[in-house]
Amino acid sequence: MTSDMSVVSLMLGASLPVQIVIVLLIVASLVSWSIIFTKRRLIARTTDASDEFEASFWSGGDLNTLYQSATRERGANVGMTSIFEAGFREFNRLLQQTEVNTDRLIDECRRAMRVAQMREVDRLEQSLATLATIGSTSPYVGLFGTVWGIMHAFLGLANVQSATLATVAPPIAEALIATAMGLFAAIPAVIAYNRFADKAVRLEYRYDGFTEEFSSILQRHARRKKGA
């Protein structure tokens, strides 16, 4: 009796629609955990890289030296380093053009940094919609499996003369496994989505602040060089 009522036995003995629902939820859970581990590493790497870059940037070092260091690691730059590289590269390019005034130069630098920032934010937010979808739909998919399983169980009991608890329990338990699987897939996805979305927004705020502060620094540099 204990063996027959194990979770695996109940899943294997469930009706085909319920088994399909359970398989879909298991796949959704695996996809969800894959995204969670990947996104966790990405956000941790981006945060650490941004912290390290900010420490170097505000230490008062030469911007050209910092830019050369960033270009040597081109392709591996993430977070603020990528935004800084895009802005300073545009600044150096436009500074050679004597017909470009300071305001236009800063506008073009800010535009280049905004484009780089959008790429960084998009990278942080990638796959978050999948987590949100899994978190919001999995309980309903599991509920569908439960409703179908219970309906199938009661239809099977229609021809039984006397329904005892031993007769009713297995098919009802099979149906409820679908709900449990739906929650198992949904809860980690919802928690991870909220956590990662919050971290992505916080990093975006940092990028916004850095872009504005760096634009002011470039404006002062441009005026000194144009004046010279």
Instruction: Write out pLDDT tens, residues 114-135.
Output: 999 999 999 999 999 999 999 9
pLDDT at 124: 92
> Among 140-144, 191-195, 219-223, where is mean pLDDT lowest?
219-223
Range 157-164 average pLDDT: 64
Q: Does the structure show a pLDDT above 80 at 76?
A: no
Helices (H), 73-127: 80-95, 102-125
Confidence grade of residue 18 (pLDDT, cut at 50, 70, 90): confident
Query: What's the rounded Cα separation, in Å, for the pair 121 and 210?
Result: 14
Percentage of the chain beyond pLDDT 70 is 83
Q: Is the dihedral of CA 36, 42, 46, 48 positive or negative?
A: positive
Range 55-69 average pLDDT: 84
Q: Does the structure show a pLDDT above 50 at 21?
A: yes
- Angstrom CA distances, 14 to 10, 11, 143, 151, 166, stand at 6, 5, 15, 12, 16
Q: Does the structure show a pLDDT above 50 at 72?
A: yes
Query: What's the rounded Cα separation, in Å, for the pair 79 and 206?
Result: 10
pLDDT at 78: 81
- Angstrom CA distances, 26 to 49, 136, 173, stand at 35, 15, 18
Average pLDDT, the chain: 84
pLDDT at 163: 59
Classify residue 138 as exposed, middle or buried by CB count within 10 Å of its CB (0-12, 13-18, 19+): buried
Q: For residue 13, give the nearest of 156, 139, 138, 141 by alpha carbon.
A: 156
Q: Read off the pTM.
A: 0.81
